[in-house]
Amino acid sequence: MESLSFPQVGGASKLFPRSSTCAQTGDYTAPDGLNFTVHCGEDVISSAYSSYVPTQKNFTACMDGCSTESWRCWGVLWQESNSSCWELSAPTALTTANLTTSDTRDIALANSTQLSNANVSCPYTNNMALTTPEGLDFKLSCNMEVEGNDLCPWFSDFCPTYAVSLEECMEACVHAHPLCEAAMWNPGHLTGYLNCFLKNATGPLVENVNQVYHTAVAEAAALAQGCPTYTTYTSTDGKAFNITCSQTATQATNITFSHRKNITACIDSCASHDGTPECEAVVFDATLGSGYENCQLLNSVQMLDSSSSLNIAQLVSTSSGSTSSSSSSSSSKAWIAAPVIGGVVAIVGIGLAWFWWNRRKRSNDAPNQNSPTQGVPIQGGNYLYTSASQKNQGVAAASETRSHQDELDSAPLSELVASERVELASQGNTAHELPA
């Protein structure tokens, strides 16, 4: 190992109070999770130093750099007088017996248990099928690696990342965006503390040469592609959503991601979300190109843009709210209620006829502000339409063009006397997905 010469500091300790930064830092955890024990006013024998040229950093940045090296960095030596940082590469020399008092330097030793793993053998049988809690299947290839094709997820601060086990590395793959296709784990940390490598390809797989890697290749099930045949959907708990195909949100607050098999399941997860902020929209990706977790819950959607593979659904109202839902939603409710109401038409016909005539008269006096033809009011004084035909019909002719059957279907049962009232079956999910 080459011999390093250190600058003469002489009385520099009077100009640069050597222990100020060290005392303020104390024991430290790097952003990626590697822990350091700090020894202020300590040095170590030169055989522990790496041959790298000292870098110019502050003390915490010196430790951060050590934690992200592509080899096992066991600690750092920091000299505050000239902001020099030496990384320590010889673990056998890093013992308290080898520490010496220093007026100019400080030592930070990495947690050795986080950097060493005596058992580097494959944790499962080769070619074994493994499934994560989120439902993503993997096939394990022991002592094999995917060369190149490294994936750095959109929301990751570290590439590669740290994983204490193969399962944890697979979990990182599940949550990655865009899609992660393989998780490669280095149990011995010979490539550094960050030992989980995500890949955007499933192969080719090659046998290990200088390092030990175990690779789990993802096998995600294909989902039905294309756009739904319906433009509205009412969730299982009664919330109405408008669906727009080939669009995504470009300005919104992200709540969470999860995996769903279709857009209706994605919408249901939004409707049942009870956290803060409230879920107001979803973006669904049936291609899985954006990641295995293909259902994104959103709040405060401000801007939309076209997309070839994504569909968006936005909250309109709840079935019990005062805001009217779309015409498609109304027709589906009528379809469910009609068989029940048909059996009592003879009993309630007179009452309904009187109510229809009276309602018709009132509709000629004042326009219906929430009719299905007009749409649902949204921000900016505009209206949200569920189909082009709704928009073209116009508001002025809304009352006159409604059919007699629509009036009967929309008549509230509360207008009937108690003895004539019919209790409908629960209409929790009033949208019906057509077969592919």
Q: How confident is the model at residue 333, as a pLDDT? A: 29
Q: Has residue 401 got a pLDDT over 60?
A: no
Q: How far apart (Å, rounded) are the C-alpha atoms in residues 309 and 307?
A: 6
Q: How confident is the model at residue 50, as a pLDDT? A: 79
Every domain of the chain with CATH number 3.50.4.10 lies at 12-114, 129-218, 232-318
Q: Has residue 79 got a pLDDT over 80?
A: yes
Residue-wise pLDDT tens digits, 184-207? 999 999 899 999 999 999 999 999
Q: Has residue 372 got a pLDDT over 60?
A: no
Q: Is the domain 129-218 a CATH 3.50.4.10 member?
A: yes
Instruction: Give 242's pLDDT tier (boundaries 50, 70, 90).
Output: very high
Report the percentage of the chain scoring pLDDT > 90.
54
Residue-wise pLDDT tens digits, 414-434? 333 333 333 333 334 333 343
Q: Has residue 171 got a pLDDT over 90?
A: yes
Lowest-confidence region among 104-108, 299-303, 390-394 = 390-394
Q: How far apart (Å, rounded) are the C-alpha atoms in residues 433 and 268?
A: 13
Report the percentage of the chain scoring pLDDT > 70.
67
Q: How confident is the model at residue 54, as a pLDDT? A: 66
Instruction: Give 389's pLDDT tier (boundaries 50, 70, 90).
Output: very low
Q: Has residue 382 got a pLDDT over 60?
A: no
- Fold classification of 232-318 (topology level): Hepatocyte Growth Factor (3.50.4)
Residue-wise pLDDT tens digits, 45-61? 877 787 766 677 789 99
Residue-wise pLDDT tens digits, 306-327? 998 999 999 996 544 433 333 3
Q: How far apart (Å, rounded) are the C-alpha atoms in residues 249 and 282?
A: 9
Q: Has residue 128 got a pLDDT over 60?
A: yes
Q: How far apart (Å, rounded) are the C-alpha atoms in residues 285 and 358?
A: 48
Q: Is the domain 12-114 a CATH 3.30.420.250 member?
A: no
**Contact status, residue 252 vs residue 237, Cβ threshold 8 Å:** no
User: In terms of pLDDT, which residue wins out, 401 or 28?
Assistant: 28
Mean pLDDT for the chain overall? 74
**Contact status, residue 265 vs residue 360, Cβ threshold 8 Å:** no
**Contact status, residue 262 vs residue 431, Cβ threshold 8 Å:** no
Q: What would the mean pLDDT of 173-182 be, rounded to a whole number?
A: 98
Lowest-confidence region among 52-66, 118-132, 219-233, 256-270 = 52-66
Q: What would the mean pLDDT of 64-88 be, rounded to a whole number?
A: 91
Q: How confident is the model at residue 381, as a pLDDT? A: 32
Q: How confident is the model at residue 349, as a pLDDT? A: 39
